Structure formats: C-alpha cells, structure tokens
C-alpha cells in the first residue's frame, strides 16, 4: 500500500510540474504585458481607435500602473481612464467631439470589467455604465440605429440595426455576431463604421452566452447557433424588407457560430469566419497537457480541479479562461466545461454549408491553430466557393482576429464583398 501511495504521490508531483511548465500565455517582452491575455485585451481596446473608440495616449496612461495578473488593478486602471474621458465628454460642447469621447469612455469601461470574476459585485454596474455611455456616443454623433428585441423562448435576444446611406438597400446586408466574450456594443467599432463608409447596412446581434443576454438573463452558449440566428432573422425580416443578399460574419468564437448557422439557414448567402474556428474542443485541449486529458479519461475529476487551481494561480490567461468558460457555458467544473467546448465543432455540419465562404486566419493566433483552416476547407465539400486569407507577422495581422490591423482584414473583406455582390 505504501508503495502505491508513494507512486501516486510521485505521479501527482509530475502532473503539477507538467501543468506549471505549460505555456498558457507568455509572449516576448516589449509589448503591453508579458501575459498574453493582458496584452491582447489592451490591443483589443486600442484596435477601436480607427472607429473613434480609443486614443493611444489614453490607453498608455490607463495601463501604466496596472499590476499584471491582478484583475482589480486592471479594473481600476481602465475605470479611471473611462471616467476621465466621460467627464471630458460631459463638459464638451461640440457634438462630434462629445460623441467621440463617449465612445472612448465606453470602450475603456467595457475593458475594465473584462477580467473581474463573474460574481464580482462591480460587474453589473460597470457593464450598465458602459452600455449607457455607448448610446450617448452614437446619439451625439447622430449615428442612425435601431434597437431590436428578439423573442427567444422564455428569454429574449438583442440586436442593433445600423441602416446604411442612400443605396444601401440595393447592397447585401451584413449580419455580424461576436464570440466567446463579446458585447453587442463593441461590434460597432469592428465593422459598422467601415461598412457604412462603403455603403452597407449592418445588423449586429448577441445570442446566448454573450453580452447582456449572459449578464441579465444568465443564458449560456448553445452549439446549435442556428436557433438564435433564426430568431434574429425572423424578427428582423418581419419588419424590414428582405435584402438582396445576406452575409453572416462571425468574430472569434463566431468563426464557429456563423458557419454553424449558415449550415442550417439558407437565407444566409455568404458566411465569413473571422477568424477560423473549426473545432473549439481542440482549442481548449491545447491549453492543458496530455496528462490532464488522461486524468479525464480515468474520471479523476477532483484531481483535475486541483491541478487547474494550481495552474490558474500562476497564469492570468488560464485563470480567466477557466472562469469565463464556466460562466458562459453554465458548467459546474472544468471537466464539464471542456466537454461543452467539444460540442462546438463544425466536423458534422461543414458539409451542409452551400454558401460562399470566406475564412480569415493568423499565423500567430494564440487561440486557434492554423491547421484548422485546412481542416475546415476539407469539409466544405458543398460550398459554392471557399476563399481563405492568412496573415503573418510581417503583415501586422498575425494576432487573433487581426487585432491591431483592422484596416488589413477589412480591405480583404470588402474586396470579397465586391466580388460577392456581382455573383
């Protein structure tokens, strides 16, 4: 018996070392933060600068005193930045300057909430404040938009429709959905402004597991994304003319969500995976060593939770992923979360996609392995057309969803849209 106990203790020690040795978020120095999650979320905030959602100097000021890996430090650093800009917006008389300041304040307040624990008492008010500030910005700038409430069983979903300029009704409608941690409001910065400038209308929406649907109704993700998408399109088309064509764009986890919906809803004429996400289970499994997957097969769930807790204490990126996974998937433990992630795969539905498909990917995406582009393409046996665009470090678009290089992917997207319109 002593021998067995000793052997198991040795096994446990080796497992702990394997967990700690796993690189879940370190990147080279010389960027905003060493931890990938903290760096990436800062880049995410800066990414909105092209759409009036950020200023470089304000962001540098926001992050300079943040203690890496400390969610409270992160919150107060960004909250202070948001409140400073909000105060400026309230005092500004020029409507355009006021609106731009409100949008920047919204972005910083949204970012502040990001790393807080799901049950942190500061989250609800911080989220509400950011949403209120966003709409103040749109109103001050005179941006036309329509809030849409979508019935969804006992719940409801939310959408915002941004009508394009004159002539937009003759162009395809762009429908845009976010991903694993998206909010409805941030989608404006990602695509709406650029689309309007090119003559397009955009319908943005949030489904289960996202934004206010998660926070206000406690409704978690579903892999059957055709269901919320159908509800959104049904409600929209009940009160708006049918567009000549409809293109569904999914960002991040939306790289799974949008293709999944397109596989089952033929009102969608084109689908864009921005970026590719063929198999979420594979993405999740990359964050843990093989020993954890072995423990899962042996049903050592308590040991897995112990190892996850240890790893979380050493990696802010890993810790956030674990907590956000349980929150958005409505699971009780890490094992359940991993099983839930595995349901988000296009393996059985990709062959049902008959539309034109555009796939974006990045060579240094810290979430999604580049091989998933070819995995996806191989299964798209019935797609009308398949186009893939891959960005490397030299292009500036090597980060997940080309953050920091918004003009880059948008140029390729709208070129694809131009060809798509003519079909």
For 98-155, what is each residue's pLDDT tens digit? 999 999 999 999 999 999 999 999 999 999 999 999 999 999 999 999 999 999 999 9
Whether residues 157 and 255 share a domain: the answer is: yes
The stretch 295-299 carries a mean pLDDT of 69
For 166-207, what is each residue's pLDDT tens digit? 999 999 999 999 999 999 999 999 999 999 999 999 999 999
- pLDDT tier for residue 382 given thresholds of 50, 70 and 90: very high
Domain of residue 353, residue span: 144-279+344-423
Residue 328 makes CB contacts below 8 A (sequence gap 6+) with 180, 181, 209, 210, 214, 220, 221
Whether residues 100 and 172 share a domain: the answer is: no
Q: Is the pLDDT at 2 greater than 70, yes or no?
A: no
Contact yes or no for 351/381 (Cβ under 8 A): yes
Whether residues 354 and 228 share a domain: the answer is: yes
**CA 15, CA 5: separation in Å to the nearest integer?**
15
Q: Pinpoint the alpha helices (H) of 22-55.
A: 36-46
**CA 218, CA 155: separation in Å to the nearest integer?**
10
Contact yes or no for 62/108 (Cβ under 8 A): yes
What pLDDT is attached to residue 32?
A: 85
Give the domain CATH number at 190.
3.40.50.1820
The stretch 282-292 carries a mean pLDDT of 77
Q: Is the pLDDT at 82 greater than 90, yes or no?
A: yes
Whether residues 176 and 205 share a domain: the answer is: yes
Contact yes or no for 80/61 (Cβ under 8 A): no
- pLDDT tier for residue 294 given thresholds of 50, 70 and 90: low
Domain boundary residue among 96, 128, 143?
Answer: 143
Q: Are strands 246-251 and 202-206 parallel, antiparallel or unpaired?
A: unpaired
Whether residues 138 and 150 share a domain: the answer is: no
> What is the three-class DSSP state of 167?
coil
Whether residues 249 and 170 share a domain: the answer is: yes
Whether residues 318 and 249 share a domain: the answer is: no
Whether residues 305 and 357 share a domain: the answer is: no
Residue 28 lies in a domain: no
Q: Is the pLDDT at 6 greater than 80, yes or no?
A: no
Residue 110 lies in a domain: yes
- pLDDT tier for residue 313 given thresholds of 50, 70 and 90: confident
User: 209: phi > 0 → left, psi -120 to 50 → alpha, else beta; which?
Assistant: left
The stretch 389-395 carries a mean pLDDT of 95
For 228-276, what is each residue's pLDDT tens digit? 999 999 999 999 999 999 999 999 999 999 999 999 999 999 999 999 9
For 211-229, what is each residue's pLDDT tens digit? 999 999 999 999 999 999 9
Whether residues 100 and 240 share a domain: the answer is: no
**CA 272, CA 386: separation in Å to the nearest integer?**
10
Average pLDDT, the chain: 90
Q: What percent of the chain has pLDDT over 70?
A: 90
DSSP H or E run through 391: strand 385-391
What pLDDT is attached to residue 9?
A: 42
Whether residues 119 and 168 share a domain: the answer is: no
Whether residues 265 and 359 share a domain: the answer is: yes
Domain boundary residue among 298, 318, 335?
Answer: 335
What pLDDT is attached to residue 317?
A: 77
Total number of domains in the chain? 3
Whether residues 274 and 370 share a domain: the answer is: yes
Domain boundary residue among 79, 112, 143?
Answer: 143
Q: What percent of the chain has pLDDT over 90?
A: 78
Give the domain CATH number at 57.
1.20.1440.110
Strands (E), 101-218: 146-152, 155-162, 173-177, 202-206
Residue 25 lies in a domain: no
């Amino acid at each position: 018996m002593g021998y067995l106990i000793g052997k198991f203790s040795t096994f446990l020690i080796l497992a702990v070392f394997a967990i700690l040795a796993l690189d879940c978020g370190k990147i080279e120095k010389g960027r905003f933060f060493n931890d990938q999650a903290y760096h990436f979320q800062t880049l995410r905030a800066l990414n909105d600068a092209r759409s009036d959602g950020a200023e470089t100097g304000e962001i540098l000021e926001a992050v300079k005193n943040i203690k890496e890996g400390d969610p409270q430090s992160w919150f107060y650093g960004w909250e202070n930045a948001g409140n400073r800009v909000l105060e400026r917006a309230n005092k500004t008389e020029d409507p355009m300057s006021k609106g731009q300041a409100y949008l920047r304040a919204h972005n910083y307040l949204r970012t502040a909430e990001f790393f807080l624990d799901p049950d942190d008492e500061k989250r609800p008010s911080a989220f509400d404040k950011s949403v209120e500030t966003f709409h103040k910005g749109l109103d001050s700038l005179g941006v036309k938009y329509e809030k849409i409430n979508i019935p969804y069983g006992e719940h409801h979903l939310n959408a915002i429709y941004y009508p394009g300029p004159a002539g937009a009704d003759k162009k395809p409608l762009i429908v845009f959905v976010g991903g694993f941690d998206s909010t409805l409001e941030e989608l404006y910065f990602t695509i709406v402004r650029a689309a309007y400038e090119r003559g397009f209308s955009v319908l943005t929406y949030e489904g289960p597991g996202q934004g206010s649907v998660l926070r206000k109704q406690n409704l978690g993700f579903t892999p059957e994304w055709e269901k919320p998408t159908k509800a959104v399109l049904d409600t929209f088309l009940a009160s708006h003319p049918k567009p000549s064509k409809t293109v569904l764009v999914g960002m991040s986890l939306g790289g799974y969500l949008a293709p999944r919906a397109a596989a089952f809803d033929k009102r969608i004429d084109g689908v864009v995976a921005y970026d590719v996400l063929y198999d979420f289970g594979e993405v999740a499994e990359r964050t843990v060593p093989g020993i954890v997957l072995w423990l899962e097969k042996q049903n050592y769930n308590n040991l897995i939770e112990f190892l996850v807790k240890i790893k979380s204490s050493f990696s802010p990126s890993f810790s956030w992923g674990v907590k956000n996974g349980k929150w958005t998937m409505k699971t009780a433990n890490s094992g359940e979360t991993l099983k839930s992630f595995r349901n988000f795969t296009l393996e059985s539905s990709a062959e049902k996609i008959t539309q034109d498909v555009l796939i974006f990917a990045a060579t240094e995406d810290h979430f999604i392995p580049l091989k998933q582009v070819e995995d996806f393409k191989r299964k798209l046996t019935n797609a009308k057309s398949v186009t893939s665009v891959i960005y490397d470090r030299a292009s500036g678009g090597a980060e997940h969803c080309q953050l920091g290089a918004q003009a880059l992917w948008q140029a390729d997207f709208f070129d694809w849209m131009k060809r798509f319109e003519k079909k």
